[in-house]
Amino acid sequence: MRSRINDEARISLMLESISNIDTFMEGVEAYEAFEGNKILCHAVAYNLQCIGESVYKLSNDFLETHKGIDWAAIEGLRHVLVHDYYSVNMRTIWGIIQKDLPDLKLYLNSL
């Protein structure tokens, strides 16, 4: 039987996935370099999926007391990456990496 992990552990898992993405993206300055590297695209998408899965399993108490992040959007991305992966737009993923991920990292580190 799998053990249940708490919200704090899920936050750690999210930060680990963000760190993975940061490492993978080192030296990648242009969208074309990102999009042209299928392994990189898949590695980033997988880690975004892991972040979304952690959000999906956060407790309602946590979500209600930490409204500084659009948790529903992160969970929604997870659903797209898992169930509608064939429709994932890499330009959208690039935007998430550039704009949203740094804000999420900052927020999670402040907890």
pTM (2 d.p.): 0.93
Could you give the CA distance from residue 81 to residue 49 in angstroms, rounded to a whole number? 6
Q: How many CB atoms lie within 10 A of CB 16?
A: 14
Q: Where in the sequence is the domain holding 97, given as residue range(s)? A: 7-110
Q: Would you state the pLDDT for residue 46?
A: 97
In a domain, 23, yes or no: yes
In a domain, 2, yes or no: no
The alpha carbon torsion through 37, 18, 55, 41 (nearest 10 deg) reads: 0
The total domain count for the chain is 1
* Confidence label for 87 from pLDDT (cuts 50, 70 and 90): confident
In a domain, 13, yes or no: yes
Token pair listed for 66: 């930490």
Of the candidates 28, 66, 62, the one whose C-alpha atom is nearest the C-alpha of residue 44 is 28
Could you give the CA distance from residue 51 to residue 12 in angstroms, rounded to a whole number? 10
- Check whether 1 has a pLDDT greater than 70: no
